[in-house]
Structure 1
Amino acid sequence: MTDASEVPDFAPAVNGAVEAAIPVVHGMGVRAVEARRGYASSMVPVAGNGNHFGVMYAGVLFTVAEMLGGAIAVASFDGAAFYPLVKDLRIKFTRPATTDVRAEATLDEDTIVRVTREAAEVGKSDFALDATVTDADGVVVAVTTGLYQLRAHRK
């Protein structure tokens, strides 16, 4: 078994990529907290992300969960060979968020292996990713189900 300190954390790479490629997400304050093979978490502050009735704006909640597909892909797949994209994302808002929030998602090893194999063989492969968004007290404020795709870079 690998010690947790030996598992690479790709969060700094994810944050750098988001800042460079998707500045609006960076501007919201969305940050990858942890990104390792099969797991990603992100957070966003409530400050500056409120709406007209004093809770976190729905689009910010969507974004903090949606970006996990890219974060988990960076940590789980070979970025020199593949890139991710989102095909669909459904969100269910369960409670208003009045604090900073954290989103988390996992991808099992069998799916990682399948997606890698399929993308290498046919150029793309779909995978589903469920995320949970919680407030500072651990209360679930939203859940998402996303359909992502891993694509091979064209040669």
Structure 2
Amino acid sequence: MTHTELFNGAIEHLVPQAHRMGVQAVVLEPGRAVCRVPLAGNGNHLRTMYAGVLFTVAEVLGGAICLPSFDMARFYPVVKSVRIDFRKPARTDVLASAELPAERVAEIAAAAQEHGKAEFTLGATLTDEAGIVVATTEGVYQLRAHQP
């Protein structure tokens, strides 16, 4: 089973609200996560995507990127904060994407191993189907070691 399949199967139980919104991983590979959310069922009074849905698809990237990037048997992610800037109305399905360079992934893993946790910042870009940036986020997450 791929990381994408694992995430999409687990989101229903781990983050049921995101699942109900239709959030799905499209690409999950070490240092890279892309998730999609549909406009259908997620609109607001302006016929654009509801702001909370945009926030949700961006926020889940912090956990999604951890799945292929870190040993999840040893670590788990926690969100500390997320700041979002809404740029344009989203009138189509939205893709949210984030990346961590390989050297940063290694640093985070080493720090979490040594200290039991490591903080990292993850920027995300949300685009509509035409590639127009509808929002950007900056999230602060922690990778924490499971306690024995």
TM range (shorter): over 0.9
Matches within 5 A, 1:87-98: 87-98=80-91
SS of the aligned residue for 1:47 comes to coil
Cα separation, partners in 2 of 1:16 and 1:104, compared to 1, 3 Å? same
Q: Contact 1:69–1:148 (CA<8 Å) still a contact in 2?
A: yes
Instruction: Answer yes or no: is 1:45 the counterpart of 2:38.
Output: yes
**Count of residues paired in the alignment:** 148
Q: Which residue of 1 aligns with 2:109?
A: 116
Q: Which one-letter code corresponds to 2:123 in the other structure?
A: D
Which runs of no fewer than 5 residues in structure 1 stay unpaired?
1-7
* Pairwise CA distance, 1:9: 4.5
SS of the aligned residue for 1:136 comes to coil
Which deviates more, 11-20 or 102-111? 11-20
Which of structure 1's runs of 4+ aligned residues deviate more than 2 A?
A: none
* Pairwise CA distance, 1:10: 1.1
Q: Which residue of 2 aligns with 1:74?
A: 67
Which runs of no fewer than 5 residues in structure 2 stay unpaired?
none
Q: What percentage of residue pairs aligned between the two structures are identical?
A: 53
TM-score, length of structure 2 as denominator length: 0.97
Structure-2 separation of matches of 1:127 and 1:111: 9
Matches within 5 A, 1:135-154: 135-154=128-147
Listed one character per residue, the Cα deviations across residues 70-114 of structure 1 (whole Å, up to 9, x for unaligned) are: 110011000000000110100000000000000110001111111
Structure-2 separation of matches of 1:9 and 1:142: 28
Which deviates more, 38-47 or 12-21? 12-21
Instruction: Answer yes or no: is 1:107 the counterpart of 2:100.
Output: yes
SS of the aligned residue for 1:51 comes to coil
Which deviates more, 86-95 or 19-28? 19-28
Q: Which residue of 2 aligns with 1:36?
A: 29
Q: Contact 1:9–1:75 (CA<8 Å) still a contact in 2?
A: no
Q: Contact 1:128–1:147 (CA<8 Å) still a contact in 2?
A: yes
SS of the aligned residue for 2:82 comes to strand
Instruction: Answer yes or no: is 1:23 the counterpart of 2:16.
Output: yes
Q: Contact 1:87–1:149 (CA<8 Å) still a contact in 2?
A: yes
Listed one character per residue, the Cα deviations across residues 25-53 of structure 1 (whole Å, up to 9, x for unaligned) are: 10100001110000000000000000111
Matches within 5 A, 1:53-68: 53-68=46-61
**Alpha-carbon RMSD:** 1.0
